[in-house]
Amino acid sequence: MFEELNRALPRFRKYEQELPITRALEEALVATYTEIIVFCAHSIAFFRNNPNISHSRSAWSRFSGDFPKVIANIRHYSRVVDETADMIRLTRETNSADTIDAISFLQDSKADEMNLPCYMIPYGLNNRFFGRSIENEALKSQLDPEENKGLKVVAIYGTGGVGKTQLALHYANTSMNLFDVILWIPSETQIKFTQALTKFASKLGIPRADEAEDEYQSIQKVRDWLNVSGKTFLLVFDNVTDHRILEQLWPASTKGSVVITCRSLSVATKYTAEAMHLECFGTDPGTQVLLSLTGLKPTSEDDAAAAKELCDLLGGFPLAMVQIGEFINERGYSYKELLPLYKRSAAKIFARSTVPLQYEHTLNTVWDISFQSLTTEGRMLLNILAFFDPDAIPEWLLSNPRADITEPSLKFLLDDFE
């Protein structure tokens, strides 16, 4: 244990002395130090309660059993610290001569030498976008450019498939008359993020210093241009899974507006207090959306009731409603005809559905990102919940301190920090 700390702590001290403490580095260091402090506190309490440890092998066995988990956590947080430090070094290097040259060029160049206006949006206007007029008006009021209002930022968060990307797309496509630049940046991975910005730099007309210029220099040039050009811009960071990726491009200009879409409230609130929670539709508005998606009016009261029940069974979940709407149109069902088939064979219906337009996932794949990010304990808890019931499960059932949980792998259920 102490060998692990001896390897990590001197390196961290060097980072603190030599590198600027960014928010990401500070959070990574705090997470590591917290793990160490908690371990030390537990150790002190243990030795105080067990002064004659040599005569209590069972107590020592229980205490030392936590070592592998603590070591694994420290190694994980140490990797995060090292990766963050590497990114800071890389950013600092690109802020040297090449960045100074880029800024000088941008300040001296004329606006008409750039390809303006410049819009890079992955899809056009979706005429089958329904049911989010209130949310769209909220985006307009918070993001539309105004004089001397500073950088405007809104984060849209919610579960996968609820319509975050479609809402951001609708705003971007209907706001091209307001911005000189609209840049859509897929942000779930560093590769997609970097590729999008490199493509945009070329589309805008920012020249490369030479053929050896790397992708990170392109990112820096885009950020420099946004900051010094004086042009209005809209940035859309779509599907952000790690807020630290935003630091590479986060603008200092007051001429811009920024939309962040993500699944996590924690990510949503890192850069703004304006976090919009996008939820599933209620029964009545959801039914209207389903009718709009199919373009079919109910033929009878029974058919209308079936459409309403279908919406309830789908939980007002937009992605599911889109797939069901397409299934109805492909097969020619009425709502009344589809309802019993859906109750019998919902899984088969969704398995046969194609990927909707302007979206990368179906109902069967939309959860993959969330599942992949689960910890071991998170996966275990998900399996327990799936075993119990698909509906409401009382929280106390899993965290009752009186519960006699003897299985070691389930002890995390009683830990307030897990």
Question: Facing residues of 258 across strands?
Answer: 153, 235
Which domain range does residue 211 map to?
113-277
The CATH code of the domain that includes 189 is 3.40.50.300
pLDDT for the residue numbered 10: 62
Size (the chain), residues: 418
Query: Is there a domain that residue 368 lies in?
Result: no
Question: Facing residues of 318 across strands?
Answer: none
- Residue 36 shares a structural domain with residue 142: no
- Residue 177 shares a structural domain with residue 82: no
Helix/strand/coil for 349 = helix
- Residue 152 shares a structural domain with residue 251: yes
Query: Is there a domain that residue 369 lies in?
Result: no
Residue 263 CB coordination number (10 Å) = 19
Using CA atoms, how far residue 392 sits from 272, 279, 280, 339, 395, in Å, is 32, 17, 17, 24, 9
Give the integer Cα–Cα distance in Å for 300 and 335: 10
pLDDT for the residue numbered 219: 86
pLDDT for the residue numbered 317: 92
Q: Which of 242, 277, 312 is the last residue of a domain?
A: 277
What is the edge-to-edge ordering of all strands in the sheet holding 152-157? 118-120, 181-186, 233-240, 256-262, 152-157, 275-277
Measured CA angle at 334 (ends 332, 336), to 5 deg = 150
pLDDT for the residue numbered 196: 93
In 3D, which of 396, 326, 397 has the Cα closest to residue 362? 326
Say if residues 334 and 294 touch (Cβ distance below 8 Å). no
In 3D, which of 308, 98, 344, 112 has the Cα closest to residue 212? 98
pLDDT for the residue numbered 226: 92
The token duo for 253 is: 């200009």
- Residue 127 shares a structural domain with residue 273: yes
Say if residues 255 and 228 touch (Cβ distance below 8 Å). no
Q: Count the domains in the chain.
A: 4
The token duo for 139 is: 């985006």
Give the integer Cα–Cα distance in Å for 214 and 155: 30
Give the integer Cα–Cα distance in Å for 391 and 382: 13
Query: Is there a domain that residue 290 lies in?
Result: yes
The token duo for 416 is: 């307030």
Query: Is there a domain that residue 103 lies in?
Result: no
The token duo for 31 is: 């997470």
- Residue 7 shares a structural domain with residue 75: yes
- Residue 172 shares a structural domain with residue 272: yes
Query: Is there a domain that residue 359 lies in?
Result: no
Using CA atoms, how far residue 73 sits from 36, 77, 416, in Å, is 10, 6, 17
Query: Quick one: how far is CA 411 from the chain centroid?
Result: 29
Long-range contacts of 281-286 (CB under 8 A, 24+ apart): 281/131, 281/311, 281/316, 281/318, 281/321, 282/316, 283/308, 283/311, 283/312, 283/316, 285/131, 285/316, 286/131, 286/311, 286/314, 286/316, 286/321
Query: Is there a domain that residue 252 lies in?
Result: yes
- Residue 134 shares a structural domain with residue 46: no
Query: Is there a domain that residue 365 lies in?
Result: no
Q: What is the pLDDT along the chain (418 residues), one digit of tens a residue?
A: 566 556 656 667 777 777 777 777 788 888 888 888 888 888 888 778 777 766 666 777 777 777 777 777 777 877 787 777 777 766 655 555 445 555 555 554 555 567 889 999 999 999 889 999 999 999 999 999 886 578 999 999 999 889 999 999 999 999 999 999 999 999 998 889 999 999 999 899 887 766 656 677 788 889 999 998 889 999 999 999 999 999 999 998 889 999 999 999 999 999 998 899 999 999 999 999 999 999 999 999 999 999 999 999 999 999 999 989 988 988 899 999 999 998 998 888 887 776 666 566 666 655 666 677 677 877 887 777 777 766 667 766 666 665 666 677 776 766 655 5
- Residue 207 shares a structural domain with residue 89: no
pLDDT for the residue numbered 245: 92
Say if residues 155 and 276 touch (Cβ distance below 8 Å). yes
Helix/strand/coil for 121 = coil
pLDDT for the residue numbered 351: 78
- Residue 272 shares a structural domain with residue 294: no
pLDDT for the residue numbered 373: 67
Q: How far apart are the first and last CA of the chain?
A: 21
Q: Which of 277, 305, 324 is the last residue of a domain?
A: 277
- Residue 290 shares a structural domain with residue 267: no
Query: Is there a domain that residue 143 lies in?
Result: yes
The token duo for 223 is: 């950020």
pLDDT for the residue numbered 150: 86
pTM above 0.75?
Answer: no
- Residue 125 shares a structural domain with residue 144: yes
- Residue 123 shares a structural domain with residue 223: yes
Say if residues 139 and 169 touch (Cβ distance below 8 Å). no
Give the integer Cα–Cα distance in Å for 321 and 311: 7
Say if residues 215 and 198 touch (Cβ distance below 8 Å). yes
